[in-house]
Amino acid sequence: MNLAGKVALITGAGSGIGRALAIEGARRGLELVLVGRREAALEKTREQIDADGRVDIVVADITLAADRKRIYAAVEQRCGGLDLLINNAGVVEVGAFGHGSDEITEAMLAVNLMAPINLTRCLLPLVQKKGGGRIVNIGSMFGDIAFPYFAAYSASKFGLRGFSEGLRRELVQEQIGVTYVAPRGVRTPAADSFAKLVAPMGMKLDDASAVALHIWNGIAREARDIYPRGPERIFLLLQRLFPRLIDGNLSKLTGDPAVREAVQPGQG
């Protein structure tokens, strides 16, 4: 896929992976529509881009139907259609499942799963107008390998992966591609929510700019899925073929005193 001149909408573009995707996308010559809830954060992203006016921002909450309609209207008026929809916005809530609440879980599922599903439905006609476009859903390695203390978050990303697979098979006759992206941990503000788990769980956090580069390279080659390079590919194979091995390995984390301390209420 030749990215130069294409129109891409990126949600969650005010920080983290979304901001890094915007900066790298502009470098590759895309026209960008940046969506997020905080105008100041979106403006800060735009300030870091040298794109000769090829960047628009839309301040919106993608969990709200009225705001999704505003996004549609803004894109239609400004660009006419859409080549790339990148569903990046997401939140992370971690901790012992029994210490959570309905409100926290529902809010996370609203952002991580329902919002990208509903936004895709809303904006699909704009992608169809362009023809041969692509929908990119930013998931997580936790959408393949669920960790203890990330149960509800993993559920949201498993759901996004399932949505991506089903939609890919539905849209193939329209020449619209669907890419599912599964980064491992990334150094972003969202990672602050599980910062105390990084060391005891042996997590590796990647730089957001490197992740964005990897994602854009995958989009350019019209990849079906984009996963990290490294041992995670082996873990994925083990998860699918020998899940009990992964069960045993990850279950040991719940007995680690450092992990247990990190997930106590008020400690995460």
pLDDT at 268 over 50: no
Other beta carbons within 10 angstroms of residue 197's beta carbon come to 25
Buried b (16+ CB within 10 A) or exposed e, 62-75: bbeeebbebbbebb
| Residue whose token pair is 């400690």 | 267
What's the maximum distance between 2 C-alpha atoms anywhere in the chain? 56
Whether residue 231 has pLDDT greater than 90: no
Question: What percent of the chain is modeled with pLDDT above 90?
Answer: 70
Output the average pLDDT for the chain: 91
What mean pLDDT is predicted for residues 161-188? 95
All structural domains of the chain: 7-262 (3.40.50.720)
- Which range (76-85, 214-223, 233-242) has the least confidence? 233-242
Neighbours of 104 (CB within 10 A): 14
Give the predicted TM-score (pTM) of the model.
0.92
Distance of alpha carbon 50 from alpha carbon 43, whole angstroms: 13
Where in the sequence numbering do the catalytic residues fall?
153
Cα separation, 44 vs 40, whole angstroms: 6
| Eight-class DSSP state of 186 | B
CA atoms 225, 226, 230, 236: torsion sign: negative
- Report the interhelical angle of 243-251 vs 232-241 (nearest 10°): 120
**pLDDT for the residue 53:** 63
At residue 209's C-alpha, the angle toward residues 214 and 139, to 5°, is 60
Model pLDDT for residues 16-58, shown as the tens digit of each residue = 999 999 999 999 999 999 999 999 999 999 999 966 668 999 9
Closest to 147 (Cα-Cα) out of 105, 65, 192, 202: 202
pLDDT at 126 over 50: yes
Please give the pLDDT value at position 177.
Answer: 97
